[in-house]
Amino acid sequence: GAGVSQSPSNKVTEKGKDVELRCDPISGHTALYWYRQSLGQGLEFLIYFQGNSAPDKSGLPSDRFSAERTGGSVSTLTIQRTQQEDSAVYLCASSGQAANYGYTFGSGTRLTVV
Amino acid sequence: AQSVSQHNHHVILSEAASLELGCNYSYGGTVNLFWYVQYPGQHLQLLLKYFSGDPLVKGIKGFEAEFIKSKFSFNLRKPSVQWSDTAEYFCAVKENNNDMRFGAGTRLTVKP
């Protein structure tokens, strides 16, 4: 597609439930990233997929968080047993392979855990 | 540890004032540097980037940034801000083919 698409745009869930957030990157972009933006804070790196390489999961805050990328395209971020501190905007970005490429961000999914 | 620092959390300026937002990083190798902007209610957009050549980079909307390698800095500047520049600004650093790391962001409020 023309841009990075994320769904849903808003998600309200009860504490303890699992949620899945979806990211559809720009066609042909080999790299895909998930970030979290909490109120009053900057962008927190979560996970990075580059082509067929093993993902860099170093930013995932706990084992309740996981992500996969199927067929080198669409990615799903899963948060199990959600907690109130998980409330944030979850941003997905994709980029081409060269190091000097900037990212194209999606509009994000605003997750609220009540 | 590798990090990106934006020292100003919130900057408030009047229209036509000059702007400089600081960004410092601690990566030791070759880096690519970026500034992103997030206008209220919108998603992050690339403002400008540096990867080689002239260390003074021109971006959109009259913004520029200067890469000073000896200071590990990439400050964002604009000679005369407008009310429409009110937004959050993020500095980011990408080392080789690794992921991009962002600073905490600087919120700019421009008073009309």
The pLDDT of residue A52: 81
The pLDDT of residue A43: 85
In this structure, the strands spanning A19-24 and B4-5 are unpaired
Mutation target among B30, B99, B102 for the A interface, most CBs of A within 10 A? B99
- Min Cα–Cα distance to chain A from B110, Å: 18
Rounded-to-integer distance, Cα A59 and Cα A46, Å: 4
- Per-residue pLDDT, averaged over B48-63, amounts to 92
Rounded-to-integer distance, Cα B56 and Cα B13, Å: 23
The pLDDT of residue B43: 81
Band (B106; pLDDT cuts 50, 70, 90): very high
Mean pLDDT over each residue of chain B, to the nearest integer: 91
Which of A42, A45, A50 is facing B97, going by the closest CB pair?
A: A50
- pLDDT tens digits along B79-90: 999 999 999 999
- Per-residue pLDDT, averaged over B42-61, amounts to 90
- Per-residue pLDDT, averaged over B84-111, amounts to 88
Among residues of chain B, what percentage have pLDDT more than 70?
96
Residue listed under structure tokens 């400008």: B48
- Min Cα–Cα distance to chain A from B5, Å: 11
Between chains, do A45 and B99 touch, taking CB under 8 Å as contact?
yes
The pLDDT of residue A1: 52
A37 sits in which H/E element: strand A31-37
**Chain A interface includes B83 (CB < 8 A):** no
**Chain A interface includes B43 (CB < 8 A):** yes
- Per-residue pLDDT, averaged over B38-55, amounts to 88
Residue listed under structure tokens 């970030």: A35
Band (B99; pLDDT cuts 50, 70, 90): confident
| Mean pLDDT in order along chain A per 10 residues (114 residues) | 88 97 92 87 86 87 94 92 96 78 87 97
The pLDDT of residue A97: 66
The pLDDT of residue A98: 63
Rounded-to-integer distance, Cα A12 and Cα A16, Å: 12
The pLDDT of residue B2: 67
Between chains, do A48 and B99 touch, taking CB under 8 Å as contact?
yes
Between chains, do B102 and A42 touch, taking CB under 8 Å as contact?
yes
**Chain A interface includes B107 (CB < 8 A):** no
Which of A41, A50, A102 is facing B104, going by the closest CB pair?
A: A41
- Min Cα–Cα distance to chain A from B36, Å: 9
CB B29 within 8 A of CB B95: yes
- Per-residue pLDDT, averaged over B25-30, amounts to 82
Cα-based angle A71, A57, A22 (whole degrees, multiple of 5): 45
Neighbours of B32 (CB within 10 A): 19
Which of B44, B51, B101 is facing A105, going by the closest CB pair?
A: B44
**Chain A interface includes B27 (CB < 8 A):** no
